[in-house]
Structure 1
Amino acid sequence: MAKKYGMIHDENLCIGCQACNIACRSENKIPDSVYRLQVWVQGPKKLPDGTLSFNYHRQSCVQCENTPCVSVCPTKASYVNEDGIVSVNVDLCVGCLYCIAACPYQARYVDPVTKAPDKCNFCKDTRLARGEEPACVTVCPTDALTFGDMSDPKSKINKVLASKPTLRPKESLGTKPKLFIVPNKRGGIES
């Protein structure tokens, strides 16, 4: 059976330390002016008991199953590989940037070196190729990130999905993200 990778970001465990962002940059040689992964800090919000609450929101590619970025690519440079990871073949890219415009998660950017769109790919060419978890997962000091094969019923990710309430970003769009969020129990920032 083919693997189907997914990730969970637990907002209750995340402390916004940016270790994931730094590890991603280092592992994937991401230029300083762009990012594949960012953790946005929202807050502080004063709670009824007088304490302050922060919410930490991960912004990265959510690895959609129904991929707007892939469907608009005229050269098939944006594609989904055999284990469900949305990827970019820079050799096929003509720089039209349709994929960037189509992404409802604002998860793509133009790499200033290759001049092609880039995004998180769960470290598929580096760490996953060596049988390791993505860099962001391995450095998280609070274990706020869970990664694994969603097609394996005994995987850690499926155990967490079965035990905690989760949501998918912008689920109403029908893109079926494979990045799940365990929402902050203390409440985020009101819009």
Structure 2
Amino acid sequence: MENSKRRFLKGCGGLLAGISVYTVTKSPLASNGEPEPQVKYAMVHDESLCIGCLACEDACREVNQVPEGVTRLKILRTGPFGEYPDQRYHFRRHSCQHCESAPCVKVCPTGAAYIDKETGIVAVNEDRCVGCQYCIAACPYQVRFINPETKAADKCDFCQQTQLSQGLQPACVQACPTRALVFGNIKDPTSELVKLLKSKPSYREKVDLGTRPKLFHIQTIDGELVL
């Protein structure tokens, strides 16, 4: 009897675990019974090419009129590594990941946070935002903030309302002097973005959460491989 009870409880635990994983990872588009869009924008930050000049930050602020004190984009610097005069730094982009399964969208009570069906961009309708900050608390990447001028949630939207609306690349991509940023349609196998991802190893942040981020990083690898 005790063995049967143990097997029953084990089976229930496995079933519940499966349900939890499925809830986190299933596609929001598939759950609505809607077809996958033909355009799904993504970005690659090649850390091996980034020199930390911050031109991307400045361009983002200027084009999108981001107030001082907050930012849609940060380049995080770590280091120095090595001995002088051969010291070097590593630079990593910190911004919205444009998750396919976005926690910020799921918790928004007004629908102000949403995934654009035509582009896959995680966006904010500031007219519907009530400033509750649920999305800020839910974002595992800590990239959202309250815009001090609009009083609405704000973040990187790949310049959806500015550059993209004019058929241009995001401001950060255009400003990068070393072409460390590549933007494009991940559904298009002929795009520069897809070709780059196929040619170099990349990583994404916190993929274990099931968010399926569309910000990819190509890591800088220094020195000899140690096994």
Whether these two folds match at TM > 0.5 is yes
Runs of 4 or more above 3 Å deviation: none
> Larger relative CO (CA 8 A, sep 6+): 1 or 2?
1
Q: Does 1:103 align with 2:157?
A: no
Residue matched to 1:71: 106
Instruction: Answer yes or no: is 1:154 the counterpart of 2:182.
Output: no
Contact 1:87/1:121 (8 A) holds in 2: yes
Amino acid at match of 1:67: A
Among candidates 161, 166, 176, match of residue 202 of structure 2: 166
Corresponding position of 2:92: 57
Report Cα offsets for 1:39-96 as digits up to 9, x if no partner: 011110226x973221101110011011000000011100000210000111111111
Matches within 5 A, 1:19-58: 19-46=55-82, 51-58=86-93
Q: Residue deviations 1:151-183, cap 9 Å, x none?
A: 111001000010000001111111111000001
Aligned positions, number: 186
* Gap runs ≥5 in structure 2: 1-36
Find the residue that maps to 1:100 and give its secondary structure. helix
Aligned partner of residue 33 in structure 1, secondary structure: coil
> Aligned partners of 2:208, 2:51: CA distance in 1, in Å?
28
Match of 1:2 among 38, 53, 57: 38
Question: How much does 1:25 deviate?
Answer: 0.3
Task: Point out where structure 1 has 5 or more consecutive residues left out of the alignment.
Answer: none
Could you tell me which amino acid in structure 2 is paired with residue 142 of structure 1? T
Task: Provide the C-alpha distance between the structure 2 equivalents of 1:159 and 1:60, rounded to a whole number of angstroms.
Answer: 23
TM-score of the superposed pair, with normalisation by structure 2: 0.79
Q: Give 3-state SS (helix, strand or coil) of 2:61's partner.
A: helix
Asked whether 1:117 is paired with 2:153, we answer yes
State the secondary structure of the residue aligned to 2:173.
helix
1:81 equivalent to 2:116? Answer yes
Q: CA RMSD in A?
A: 1.4
Tell me the secondary structure at the aligned position of residue 34 of structure 1: coil
Distance in 2, Cα, partners of 1:144 & 1:170: 22
Q: 1:120-144: CA deviations, max 9, x gaps?
A: 0000111111111000001100000
Q: Which amino acid aligns with 1:174?
A: G
How much has 1:2 moved relative to structure 2? 2.6
Question: For residues 50 and 166 of structure 1, what CA distance do their matches in structure 2 show?
Answer: 29
Q: Give the letter for the 2:115 counterpart.
A: V
Identity %: 53
More strand by share: 1
- TM-score norm. by structure 1 comes to 0.94
